[in-house]
Amino acid sequence: MHMDEDRAWIAFASRDRDADGRFVVAVRSTGIYCRPSCPARRPARDKVAFYKDAADAKAAGYRSCRRCHPDAVARDATAVARAAAMLARDGAVPLDRLAQAVGYAPHHFHRLFKRATGVTPAAYARALRSGRAIAALAAENSVTEAIYAAGHDAPSRFYAADAPRLGMSPSAWRHGGRGETIRWTMIATGMGPLLFATTARGPCRIALGEDGAALAARFPAATIRPGDAVLHDLAERVVTLAECPARSDLPPDIRATAFQEAIWQALRTIPPGTPCRHAERAASAGGAD
């Protein structure tokens, strides 16, 4: 078996939920195997064996733990990934239909999805639609066309849900950030470097896998400036608030969408008047210097 057993042991010893689905831990004295996050007391290291999955542990003669249900891990992750794919394909699907489609009770599935991704199925669907609307802004001929292309029934939905995430008017966005000054910083996250960019109005781009160059390419008509320590501290704080238990056995695109959405949600929990407004002031003050 190819597995870094030292790292596996550290994950098991710290009950790391992120490791669930990556391997199982079998305890020789009890004949039971567990998911890495099992709440049960930890045996001595020389009493455990690591297997890549439940099937391997079973083949070696172990039974599944009744406390942590290691066999359910893969099934849960598959259900969450299938539901996320369904939301991407069909737009907002009501919870009961979504849960039924993947074979779970609605309430249970809601909790499971939230625990696995850090956001609810409805928030996940909103994040996808928001992403589509923003992508359409640059691609379609007008703001109105973009709104309908993204799947909104009415412009009012777009202005309530997506437009506040632009950090500028939809028209300025369509025109490469014309007239805007954008400050940006990079934050290290559990999912890699994250771009956090804001105008004087508020954040305009929060994206994994993008950087200052990507920002400049997206907004060729804007003035792009590196952010100061105030902006960096704010971004770091928001990202820490959002640091969600997104499970590593989910596809990276699902985790990225959910994580970015969790960051937008965390931004809303920051009381207006304090750090968020600081960033806005810093951005506008910076625009003048």
- C-alpha–C-alpha distance, residues 219 and 148, integer Å: 23
Cα–Cα distance for residue pair 142/121, rounded to 1 Å: 30
Options 40-48, 168-176, 215-223, 278-286: segment touching Zn ion (CB under 5 A): 40-48
Q: For Zn ion, which stretch binds (CB under 5 A), given 10-18, 26-34, 93-101, 164-172?
A: 26-34
Active site residue 244: no
Q: Which two tokens stand for residue 209?
A: 């896998």
Write the CA distances from 71 to 50, 56, 57, integer angstroms: 15, 11, 11
Shortest gap between Cβ of 54 and Zn ion (angstroms)? 12
Q: From the CB of 33, what's the least distance to Zn ion, in Å?
A: 8
What sign does the CA torsion over 162, 168, 171, 174 have?
negative
Cα–Cα dist 201/277, whole Å: 9
- Residue number with CB closer to Zn ion (54 or 79): 54
Could you confirm whether 68 is annotated as catalytic? yes
Reduce the DSSP state of residue 25 to 3 states and report it: strand
Minimum Å gap between C-beta 67 and Zn ion is: 4
Please answer whether residues 34 and 57 qualify as being in contact, where contact means their C-beta atoms are separated by less than 8 angstroms.
no
Report the Cα 222 to chain-centroid distance in Å: 27
Structure tokens at 76: 């849960």
Draw the binding track, 49-78, toward Zn ion (x: CB under 5 A; -: no contact).
----------------x-xx----------
Question: Applying CB under 5 A, which part among 8-16, 39-47, 77-85, 147-155 lies near Zn ion?
Answer: 39-47
Q: How far is the CB of 69 from Zn ion (least distance, A)?
A: 8
∠ Cα 187 189 194 (to 5°): 45
Q: Which of 8, 11, 24, 38 touches Zn ion (CB under 5 A)?
A: 38
Residue of 223, 237, 234, 239 whose CA lies nearest to 279: 234
Please state the closest distance from residue 57 (CB atom) to Zn ion, in A: 11
Q: What is the dihedral of CA 244, 97, 132, 139, to 10 degrees?
A: 160
- In the set 34, 79, 93, 127, which binds Zn ion (CB under 5 A)? 34
Is 204 one of the catalytic residues? no
* Measured distance CA(272)–CA(27) in Å, rounded: 51
Residues contacting Zn ion: total by CB under 5 A = 6
Q: Which of 68, 204, 244, 276 is catalytic?
A: 68
Pick between residue 72 and residue 86 the one whose CB is nearest to Zn ion: 72
**Can residue 246 be called a binding residue for Zn ion (CB under 5 A)?**
no
For residues 63 and 111, which CB has a smaller minimum distance to Zn ion in the complex?
Answer: 63
List active site positions: 34, 38, 65, 68
Write out the residues near Zn ion by the rule CB under 5 A. Answer: 34, 38, 40, 65, 67-68
